[in-house]
Amino acid sequence: MLLSVDRTSETGTQSLSFEIIDAIAEREGVDTTEIEPPEYEALYDVLNPEALDALFAPCHDGTQRSTGRVKFTYCGYDVVVTSDGDVHIDE
């Protein structure tokens, strides 16, 4: 089952790494604060959250990145993050 989350219009300022945590919590049916060790894997054990946020941050002139995506496995889910701020979660 695929869960696609695009909260860029809702939050506008929330980092992609937090969007990932939110999406996993939603999929698991738990509060975002519960997505932490030891019950859940730490995101920083899978990838560098700051690097992910920086990779898709707006360009220096303020324009959005035009293309790009990162795919990885986190908490047993396949996660795809795209340059337009979408977070897709699939089992």
11 versus 26: the higher-pLDDT residue is 26
- Stretch 13-42: mean pLDDT, rounded? 92
Band of pLDDT at residue 8, cut at 50, 70 and 90: very low
pTM: 0.77
Q: What percent of the residues of the chain are helix, what percent strand, and what percent coil, each to the nearest 5?
A: 35, 20, 45
Supply the mean pLDDT for the chain: 85
Give 74's strand partners.
Answer: 77
List pLDDT tens digits, range 53-85.
Answer: 888 888 889 888 778 899 999 999 999 998 888
Please state the length of the chain.
Answer: 91
Contact indicator for 2, 89 with CB cutoff of 8 Å: yes
Band of pLDDT at residue 2, cut at 50, 70 and 90: very low
* Dist. CA 34–CA 37, nearest whole Å: 9
The domain limits of the chain are 2-90
